[in-house]
Amino acid sequence: MSSNRTKKMLSADAVKRALVESFIKLNPVVMLKNPVMFVVEAGTVIVLLMAVFPNYFDSRERVGFNVTVFLILLFTLLFANFAEAIAEGRGKAQAYSLKKSKQEITANKLVGGSIVVVSSTELRKGDIVMVSQGEMIPGDGEVIEGLASVDESAITGESAPVIKEAGGDFSSVTGGTRVVSDSIKIRITSDPGQSFIDRMIALVEGAKRQKTPNEIALNTLLTSLTIIFLIVVVTLAPIANYLDIKLEIPVLIALLVCLIPTTIGGLLSAIGIAGMDRVTQFNVLAMSGKAVEAAGDINTMILDKTGTITFGNRMASELVPVGGDNIEQLSGWAAISSLKDETPEGRSVLEWMKKQGMSYDASLAEGGEFVEFKAETRMSGMDLKDGRHVRKGAVDAVKKWVAAQGGEIPSDLDQAAKQIASLGGTPLAVAVDNKMFGVIYLKDTVKPGMKERFDQLREMGIKTIMCTGDNPLTAATIAKEAGVDEFIAESKPEDKIAVIRKEQAEGKMVAMTGDGTNDAPALAQAEVGLAMNSGTIAAKEAANMVDLDSDPSKIIEVVAIGKQLLMTRGALTTFSIANDIAKYFAIIPAMFMLAIPEMGVLNIMKLGSPLSAILSALIFNAIIIPLLIPLAIKGITYKPMSGAQLLSRNVFIYGLGGVIVPFIGIKLIDLIVHVWI
């Protein structure tokens, strides 16, 4: 996570904004979305009316008690609203930082062969623009000509620039990013207000957040419990009257508020919003809370190979000398042939040599002329000032070139080339005039740390399947190096969808990561589709998550956050229901002790008086919500474990804790309240 994304959870500004929002959210229309807290608000209004109009409700002797109950219930509502507002506020702060990157940008629009400078807001889908070094990219688009290094730190928070080039899966560019070298021609792919940043702003603000199936089920449970306890409390009054026991309406409301699961009811929205916020902090944009929660139940992960598991470009990984020459000679000429070669393969030769600590005499190339790669020759290289000619290219093409100059082909050349090909690599021969020096082994390199990350997924019970269009031999080599569980070679887009549907038919939840247009159907089919930000527009639009860092192993963090969200919700639900037990022993004896002294045996906490018992239970019920806000937003620590272990952990820590903590809290509050009363 980049440092500029790190925020203090409860900063002064965030608290100030959340306090204002807490009062705004008291609107009954807003509260109606949360049935539990709406019932609390209805009770609060009734108690307020009884305090304001005591004569009408015949409650003149209870005005002070009624006002106290009203204030406690009001703070209960405000604390619940505060929890939700704090969670939403963090998303809005992220949106604000994104809005700062949406500054007015001028664009060099191509019109009839000439360049016209216009505002970025005037650009429309299909327009062609030129962006040069130091200029901002005016809108989302695809590179159709050229290659450039682009600084995407405004979006991803990462300072290292990325290479964007025409064609392939690395042509997508985002408005608000800056070109730091060279120039590119871009076709705009979105109209104003529909760019990637616009969608990010809307999403992190929570405007389109949907309740997840798990959250809906829990809401149904909480609503059902609320209705049941509402019926219990409503019928309790006539039953008590029949027994000549008078129960005050504020007391009944206090009982109802303490019986219904107000703790989890007040924190439920905050937990869901915080889940989306946490993935955003890992530079992953979740399109909905459903995607985050679904990640917590993933069983199978399908991965595209090129650009996802591997870098996507074949890179130098070994130098194989032939004909009795040594590796120093081969590396020297390989470097000379690659000095001015700007292709990924050419650059990778110099990078590999640098990592190996190999040196070469760059002065040999001074004054030389670079020979570009052509489809006809299938070679590139350098014509040196001293008359020598250095070539690097396809083995058969270089063999013909050497033979044409009267040179001999080493007997071990074909064997070296076949060995590289059998491993799924590409051999490039290196020669100088009529002498062959050796072969460069190019392969589609697995990204660093992938094997360890897949081991982690395996420990979490997630099966990994790599899909690639490569032949079975190459696919097997990459799969073994990456450490995936299974692989599918020579796969087409429909094959990826087929394997996803097969897993889903077996009742499994599937995640798919990819970056290409051919991955889009599979990304849309999977429960969790994680597209790489470096990928195509089609892939990002089909997915329900976008990884701004283009790191496929990020799915591990996403899965952990999804599981953490579920565990946090389960833990706090367990705590909420368990802490009602202590409230029963506080309020129920207090309600009946005066009329039925024998009920005093249930006053196991030895609370001071019926009034102090009721108020203490209400106060604890109110203050426990803000005390749990940090846990709801941060989430409980995720540790891989089975469902049975998780249940045991929740019951022991949050169930038992939910029983013990309220007994202690209510007793301590009663010691103060009883003196005050």
Catalytic residues: 304
13 SS3 class: helix
Residues belonging to the chain: 677
**Does residue 414 have a known ligand-binding role?**
no
Cβ atoms of 137 and 186 within 8 Å: the answer is yes
Number of C-beta neighbours around residue 240 at 10 A: 16
**Does residue 9 have a known ligand-binding role?**
no
**Does residue 470 have a known ligand-binding role?**
no
For residue 275 the two structure tokens come to: 């889940």
d(CA 500, CA 519): 12
**Does residue 380 have a known ligand-binding role?**
yes
380 SS3 class: strand
Over the range 517-556, which residues count as b (16 or more CB within 10 Å of their CB) and which as e?
ebbbbbbbbbbbbbbbbbbbbbbbebbbbbbbbbbbbbbb
d(CA 292, CA 271): 12
Burial class (CB in 10 A: 0-12, 13-18, 19+), 379: buried
Torsion 486-489-492-494 (CA) sign: negative
**Does residue 515 have a known ligand-binding role?**
yes
**Does residue 392 have a known ligand-binding role?**
yes
Cβ neighbours for 249, distance < 8 A, ≥ 6 positions apart: 46, 47, 50, 57
Give first-to-last CA distance, the chain, whole Å: 52
**Helices H / strands E in the chain, number of each:** 24, 21
Number of C-beta neighbours around residue 366 at 10 A: 10
**Does residue 198 have a known ligand-binding role?**
no
**Does residue 519 have a known ligand-binding role?**
yes
For residue 468 the two structure tokens come to: 């690639």
Which residue shows structure tokens 């020096």? 437
d(CA 390, CA 383): 6
Burial class (CB in 10 A: 0-12, 13-18, 19+), 20: exposed
**Does residue 373 have a known ligand-binding role?**
yes
Beta bridge partners of 486: 465
**Does residue 92 have a known ligand-binding role?**
no
d(CA 44, CA 342): 72
**Does residue 248 have a known ligand-binding role?**
no
d(CA 374, CA 561): 49
d(CA 582, CA 600): 15
d(CA 515, CA 308): 7
Longest dimension (CA), the chain: 119
d(CA 56, CA 58): 6
Q: Which residues are documented as binding site for Mg(2+)?
A: 515, 519
Q: Which residues are documented as binding site for ATP?
A: 341, 345, 373-380, 392
Q: Which residues are documented as binding site?
A: 341, 345, 373-380, 392, 515, 519
